Chain A
Amino acid sequence: MSAAPPVHASGVAADAATRAEAGEQRGRARVTPQQVTAVVPVVLFVVLFVVMIVVQGTFSGSLLQTVLETTVPLILVGFGQTLVVLTGGIDLSVGGIFSLVTALVATKMTHNGDVATWLPLVLLIGLAAGAINGLLIVRTKMQPFIVTLASWSVFSGLALLALSTDGGSVAPGLSSTLSGSWIVPKAAVVTAVVIVVWLVLRRTRFGTNVLAIGSSEPSARLNSVPVARTKILVYALAGLFTALGAVYYSSVLTFSGSPTAGDTFILQSVAAVVIGGASLAGGRGNMIGTILGACSLSMIAQIVFFAGAESYWGQLVQGILILAAVLLFATVELLIRRRNPASAEEA
């Protein structure tokens, strides 16, 4: 048997013409929906940033840093939410986990509390809470929406058990460590985290599996992707990221705890993911988009505050923004489909 490939000359050649044609059409319509969804959040971020400078009337280098720092909790919760959304799911329980962790931080990690024990413990609690979500979703095959709606309620109840009203305090040591100056610049830490998360998503088998599940779960299964394991891990990571966000929130931003602090993060995190260009159907989206989406959301609140308007204007604008973003993404995709017959023909 010769090693030569069994190319059926006339056949493949005849068809090569039609394929070359398809390639040419692809060449003309080079813009993909993915590229557009990557650009939109950047544009939005820049526009809002400029508006913020105008409204505030001053510009200083620390403005960007302030925005980033106040948005860290939402970014972290958003990371977790992005992972879940990429698999085609949704996690409403981030609100409950967030509240539970803040409550624990404010009651256990006080100035006379054992921070060294409780810090890893609360992170573990976040991880475990998420893993329970994942297990329930995978084992019972219930909808993520229902499972996490229920567990949100459960975790919120536990949060109220730990801390019945807003209050408590956080060990000043922890606060100053997180908010004070670090050995390495914070910007470098943030950049490093972003790069790591990006690498995990785009350059590891885990990341590809996540996208594969969101793209088509039955097909992923046929390709021997470990669907159950990956999903459980995704929800667990969502819990962990949420716990991280909650620790930062209570120790740096509020210095106290609130058993209902997490609730606003549920829809905000989903909004950040959507504005960041992810598809709620799964398979498409990225972490950078989520960061930009989260920052855009918190800048709107800032702008409204500095403009001296009532805070409900912020809510209104946020709502319109979400609608506009989703509409834009849908339109762009439709336009590209129309322009690129290769994807529509015979499909």
Chain B
Amino acid sequence: MQDDSHQARGQTDAWDLQALEMRKSYGKVNALDGATLRARYGEVHALLGENGAGKSTMCKIVTGSVRPDAGELLLDGRAISNGSVGEAMRHGIGTVFQELSLLPDLSVAENMFIGGGEPRGRTKLVDRRAARRRTDEIFDELGIEGIDPRSAAGSLPLAQQQLVEIAKVIARKPRILILDEATSTLPRQDVLWLFGIVRRLRDEGAAVFLISHRLREAFELADRITVFRNGADAKTGTTDEFTEATLVEAMLGRELGVETERRPAPAAAEVRLEVRELNVKNRVRDVSFELRRGEILGLAGLQGQGQTAVLQALYGWTRHDGEVLLDGQPIDVRTPRRAIRSGVALVPEDRRTQGLALEMSIRDNLTLPTLRRQLGFGNLISPAREERFAEHLAKSLNVKAGSLEDDVASLSGGNQQKVLLGKVLSLEAKVLLFADITRGVDVGTKADIFALMRELTADGTSIVFYSSDSMELIHMCHRVAVMFDHTIACVLEGDEITERNIVQASVSGRIATSEEVKV
């Protein structure tokens, strides 16, 4: 009897949150095609899948920022309709959004309480001092240091903004917490900090959804994993039912042949790029390095040590001092236009604001920097030529799109990244600068990007590769320069390129000598 009821519970009632047979399409693209997700309180549930597999759309439905075309959402066994984010909040659903939802012109304290819950004085007016105090208390409680509640949210570095975003949601004590790529901008130690908080929330009875591209994070934190593929749930189970291999297989629907062996540095090759005494005010100090033909040089380090600034300076994005030589000749990289002409091109960090014109078509984006080559009769842009060019690029990069005339905004994140890459590759630069371009990108696209990098270097292109994921650097780079305190602290080569050394150098500016390691 008791057994029976338990079994019945196990089949239906045991699930506290259920999203059943969800469907959602954008134009011709089916983002969700009958996906189902079930979760329990007191569990961390990781949602994995390639970009465009539907996990983000599913989360947005639960969060109330997207309305499904069909499907049922049950919370505590009752159907709820999440018409808006506010409604979801009232149900106790809190989300840390992938695209930060902070309001840049408002102060940190104002951001903490936007949408409700701000402390009020006797006069019913917002008590700003109390709001600041409360913000400080929340930060203290969560162990966040060094953020002034009065500063404008938009003036903080990206990683700090992410911390504020997290604190804002956690302070509302959600029953259901959704972390949508919340860790992608965070350095490893802050990820661990966040996981501590998530575990506490879970133990206090919250249901937590974790969306991450780092499989390792899923294994570290999750009790349950659901894999999405092509807009549906492909596989679900407790974490111990999965191995990394079976996970990746479920995500791709095929086995992934990851090439992990590193080729030796092409020491014999001639020096392609030489950077001498590069300085950017307050951001980069005396950076010098050489890059050989066909070499991938990694840039590692904690957030904000100047990695992005180095790349931006070499691309003429920021004012800088120092000498840059390409094939032994000094080159002018004072503006991006000149840098491109000299043979240096950058794939920027933030494809939404820095890389793509979201409202323009895929074709227009792909041909934008090379319009000079698309000219036809009377120096007018030739649509036919553009079409051929864009089609060729899209095909060679395996961009999945309905039509090249669609807005770039309609593509999934991974495909947007491919459009961005295609655009930059079409410049045929001798030196490519990659600014953390694999962040927030699914494993499939990542594998494509890595394969592409190897192809490029085989053809003699040289790459400076900044990544916030040290495993990627270990897999891809011939040498890794670790930045510390706005300069290159040490350069790792060959067997020295280990996660341990990268982390050590990132936090201390040096690697342990071999004796120290043995002890």
Contact = CB atoms under 8 A, between A and B. Distances in A.
Nearest to A220: B103
A8 B303 contact: no
B196 A346 contact: no
A280 to B, nearest CB: 13
A5 to B, nearest CB: 5
Interface stretch (A99-107, A172-180, A198-206, A232-240): A198-206
Given A223-B101, A226-B86, A344 B146 contact: no
A340 B200 CA distance: 36
Interface string A208-226: 1101101110111111111
B145 interface: yes
A275 B450 CA distance: 52
B128 A219 contact: no
A284 interface: yes
B171 interface: no
B103 A203 contact: no
Contacts of B160: 19, 22
Contacts of B100: 219
A143 interface: no
A347 interface: yes
A338 interface: yes
B431 interface: no
Contacts of B199: 6
Contacts of A202: 126, 128
B115 A341 contact: no
Given A16-B145, A225-B115, A1 B101 contact: no
A224 B89 contact: yes
Nearest to A343: B155
A222 B85 CA distance: 6
Interface in B63-91: 65, 84-86, 89
Interface of B is mostly: loop
Contacts of B197: 5-6
A5 B145 CA distance: 13
A283 B104 CA distance: 9
B151 interface: yes
Contacts of A310: none
Contact of B105 (A215, A222, A338): A215
A215 B114 CA distance: 13
A225 B306 CA distance: 36
A211 B192 CA distance: 34
B302 A215 contact: no
A7 interface: yes
A14 B192 CA distance: 13
Contacts of A345: 157, 283, 304, 306, 308-309
B281 A204 contact: no
Q: How large is the interface on B (under 10, 10 to 19, 20 to 34, 35 or more residues)?
A: 35 or more
A27 to B, nearest CB: 9
Contacts of B189: 8, 10-12, 14-15
Contacts of B85: 221-224
Contacts of A7: 143, 193, 196
A322 interface: no
Given A204-B125, A347-B158, A1 B283 contact: no
A219 B86 contact: no
B249 interface: no
A215 B153 CA distance: 11
A338 B281 contact: yes
A164 interface: no
A18 interface: yes
Interface in B109-132: 110, 114-116, 118, 125-126, 128
A1 B305 CA distance: 37
Given A204-B126, A208-B114, A219 B102 contact: yes
Interface in A1-52: 1, 5-8, 10-12, 14-16, 18-20, 22-23, 25-26, 32, 34
Contacts of B349: 346
Contacts of A19: 145-147, 160
A5 B126 contact: no
Given A12-B145, A15-B302, A222-B85, A342 B103 contact: no
B2 interface: no
Contact of B192 (A8, A218, A346): A8
A283 B181 CA distance: 27
Interface residues of A, number: 52
A14 B116 contact: no
A101 to B, nearest CB: 31
Interface string A273-284: 000000000011
Contact of B303 (A199, A211, A346): A346
A228 B302 CA distance: 41
B101 A205 contact: no
Interface in B125-167: 125-126, 128, 140-148, 151-152, 154-160
Given A211-B103, A340-B155, A346 B86 contact: no
A303 to B, nearest CB: 34
Nearest to A200: B125
B204 interface: yes
Given A15-B187, A19-B145, A8 B193 contact: yes
A221 to B, nearest CB: 7
A212 B105 CA distance: 8
A20 B146 CA distance: 6
Interface string A311-342: 00000000000000000000000000010111
A284 B190 CA distance: 32
Nearest to B193: A8
Residue of B99, B154, B157, B200 contacting most chain A CB atoms (<10 Å): B157
Contacts of B114: 208-209, 212, 220, 223, 225
B125 A203 contact: yes
Contact of B146 (A16, A219, A223, A225): A16
Residue of B190, B193, B349 contacting most chain A CB atoms (<10 Å): B193
Contacts of A344: 283, 318
B67 to A, nearest CB: 13
Contact of A223 (B103, B188, B190, B200): B103
Contact of B159 (A1, A216, A218, A346): A346
B106 interface: yes
Contacts of B158: 346-347
B200 A1 contact: yes
Given A223-B114, A283-B104, A11 B155 contact: no
Residue of B89, B104, B110, B155 contacting most chain A CB atoms (<10 Å): B155
Contacts of A199: 125
Contacts of B306: 345
A87 B77 CA distance: 40
A34 B107 CA distance: 12
Given A8-B193, A12-B190, A224-B89, A26 B148 contact: yes
B97 interface: yes
B103 A215 contact: yes
B282 interface: yes
Q: Rank and list the top 3 A-B pairs by shortest CB-CB distance, nearest first.
A: A11-B189, A6-B196, A19-B146
Given A8-B189, A22-B160, A344-B283, 9 more contacts: A11-B188, A11-B193, A12-B190, A14-B507, A19-B160, A342-B155, A345-B283, A345-B309, A346-B159
